[in-house]
């Protein structure tokens, strides 16, 4: 029933831009960083994922990140990622803006992906600026040119967000006739701001999430449910599953 309503909304309100948070990847076995049972429940994020921590002791940060990167690279896209890629192929989704660093949208086949918190795709040497691919970083965490520890190109706490991605995200938010939020409680910047940008520009908001979000009252459609199940049902409703 709610998938049918979402399908109708997506057909009617184009272009549709999708905004995804951690909840889109939990069904791929990737824990939500900020949930009480998530990755940060037992560690202080500032100790491992802050710029300050990396500068003070990059080896310690890498000991924390190495198993995490391994977990991310062995995860597979789920029904939510696949449905969004299919909707993009059918011109029903213009772009996906994501907080996630796990590359699962890209691996599912999405082409227009804006990663506002960076991704694990590359790592950069903070000393000489040399850039390395994920495969290279998994092999060796030090720069081949100067020997410094590489920093994954994900946004650490205390670090500035990637300007080009943020600009593009705001542009997409303004252009969206419909912003579909999936798997985010909309509490963290910039995702908390982007739906407001869509609303200010006259667009509509739909939300798929487990649990309440900060903008539930502003949404034309609010679906309580998991990302994979709901978007899988949406794709079926549209005849693409």
Taking the complex as a whole, the smallest distance from the CB of residue 137 to Zn ion amounts, in Å, to 13
Distance set, CA 196 to CA 87, 190, 214 (Å): 23, 11, 11
**The binder of Zn ion chosen from 4, 8, 56, 128 (CB under 5 A):** 128
Dihedral (CA of 105, 109, 110, 116) sign: positive
Residue closer to Zn ion (CB basis): 111 or 144 = 144
The answer to whether residue 145 forms part of the interface with Zn ion (CB under 5 A) is yes
User: H/E element holding 228?
Assistant: helix 227-237
* Least distance between Zn ion and beta carbon 147 (Å): 7
CB of 152 to Zn ion, least distance (A): 14
Residue with tokens 């407001």: 196
Q: Which residues contact 83 (CB under 8 A, 6 or more apart)?
A: 231, 232, 234, 235, 240, 241
Binding-residue total with Zn ion (CB under 5 A): 8
Nearer CB in complex with Zn ion: 31/126: 126
Catalytic one of 42, 81, 105, 117: 117
Rank residues 74 and 139 by Cβ distance to Zn ion and give the closer one: 139
Q: Are 9 and 209 in contact (CB under 8 A)?
A: no
Give contact residues for Zn ion (rule: CB under 5 A): 125, 127-128, 130, 143, 145-146, 148
Catalytic residues: 117
């Amino acid at each position: 029933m709610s998938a049918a309503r979402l399908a109708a909304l997506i057909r009617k309100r184009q272009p549709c831009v999708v905004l995804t948070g951690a909840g889109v990847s939990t069904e791929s076995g990737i824990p939500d960083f900020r949930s009480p049972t998530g990755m940060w429940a037992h560690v202080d994020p500032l100790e491992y994922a802050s710029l300050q921590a990396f500068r003070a002791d990059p080896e310690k940060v890498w000991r924390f990140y190495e198993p995490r990167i391994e977990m991310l690279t062995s995860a597979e896209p789920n029904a939510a990622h696949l449905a969004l890629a299919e909707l993009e192929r059918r011109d029903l989704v213009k772009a996906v803006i994501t907080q996630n660093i796990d590359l699962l949208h890209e691996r599912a086949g999405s082409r227009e992906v804006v990663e506002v918190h960076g991704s694990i795709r590359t790592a950069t040497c903070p000393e000489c600026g040399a850039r390395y691919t994920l495969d290279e970083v998994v092999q060796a965490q030090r720069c081949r040119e100067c020997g410094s520890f590489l920093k994954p190109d994900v946004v650490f706490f205390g670090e500035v967000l990637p300007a080009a991605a943020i600009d593009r995200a705001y542009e997409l938010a303004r252009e969206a006739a419909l912003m579909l939020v999936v798997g985010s409680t909309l509490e963290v910047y910039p995702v908390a701001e982007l739906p407001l940008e869509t609303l200010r520009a006259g667009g509509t908001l739909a939300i798929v999430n487990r649990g309440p979000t900060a903008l539930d009252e502003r949404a034309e459609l609010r679906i309580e449910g998991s990302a994979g199940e709901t978007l899988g049902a949406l794709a079926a409703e549209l005849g693409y599953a």
